[in-house]
Amino acid sequence: MGEVESWLQKDWILSDPGSRLSASALTVGYGGAAILRALDFTVPDGAMTVLVGPNGCGKSTLLKTLARILAPSAGEVRLDGQPIRAIPTRDVARRLALLPQGPVAPEGLTVGELVAQGRYPHQSFLRQWSAADTRAVDHALDLTALQSLADRPVQSLSGGQRQRAWIAMVLAQETDLILLDEPTTFLDLKVQVDVMSCLAGIARAGKTLVVVLHELNIAAAFADHLVMMREGRIVAEGPPAAIMTPGTLHEVFDLDAQVIADPLTGRPVCIPRLAA
C-alpha cells in the first residue's frame, strides 16, 4: 500500500462516523514520563471492549484519558466528532460515565442514595429532583437486581453487591458510553462472573462499554472486542478468538501458553504451560 493510501485508510478509521469515542496519536504520561505513545484507538459502538495487558502498560491511563480525567500532551480524544476537551464538563457527563478503580462511598450512604448520585449531571439550580430521576434510579436498581437492597447501607453489602451498586450509579447517569476500571478486582471468581454477566447484559441492551481487566480468561469469555496492550501501545485488537493466540500472549505477557476453544461457547481459553 502506498503512503497516500495508507494515510487515507488511517484517517478513515480514526474519523469513523459510526464510532462515538475515539483517540488519535495520544501521548500521555506522568511527571514527564510517557505511558502512552502516539496511540490510536477507536471504541466500537454498542459492544463491550475489554483492555488487558501487564501492570503499567497503560490500560488505566488510556481509560482516564478517554474520560477526560487526564489531558494528553499530544493527540486528542473525540466524543461525538468533537474534541472532548472542548465540550463542557456537564455535557460530557451526560454522554459518558466513568467508574474508577476502588471507589469508596461515604459512611452511612444507602444503596439508593449512592445510585441517585448518578443523576448529578442532570441537576441544576433550575432543575431539581424529578420523576424522570426517580425512574432512572429505579431502572438502574432493576438492571443490577438491587431493588431489595435500596435501603441498605453500602458498607453492609458483600463485595459483589457493592460493585453492582456502583455500576447502578453509572447506569443512573443514563449515558450510552460507560468506562469501568477493573470492576472485578478483589472479587471471588463466581462474583467476577456475576458482575461481568451484568455488564454483558448492559452491552446487549445497546450500551457501549470499555472495561479494564486483569483476568485473561474472564476477558476472553465476555469481550466483544479485546484489546491487548504492552508498554503504552496496542499490540492487537479484535474478536477474542482472533487475537488471543499463543503468539500474542507471548508478545504481550511473556507467557508461554496454549489456547483452546471452550467446547460450549467457542471462546478462547488460555492454559499456561508449566515448566517441566
pLDDT of residue 123: 81
For residue 134, what is the domain's CATH number? 3.40.50.300
> Which residues in the chain land under pLDDT 50?
1-17
With CA atoms as reference, report the closest residue to 181 among 160, 166, 165, 201.
Answer: 166
What pLDDT is attached to residue 109?
A: 96
Local structure of 64: helix, strand or coil: helix
Q: Which residue has the cell 456475576?
A: 194
Question: Tell me, what's the pLDDT at 125?
Answer: 67
Distances (CA, A) of 42 to 22, 81, 227, 256: 4, 12, 11, 29
> Cell 471452550 sits at which residue?
262
| Global pTM value | 0.88
233 near 253, Cβ under 8 Å? no
Sign of CA dihedral 188, 192, 236, 62: negative
- Closest-CA residue to 44 (of 263, 227, 217): 227
Task: Count the domains in the chain.
Answer: 1
Enclosing domain of residue 108: 3-272
DSSP bridge pairs for 181? 212
Whether the CA torsion 196, 212, 142, 149 is positive or negative: it is positive
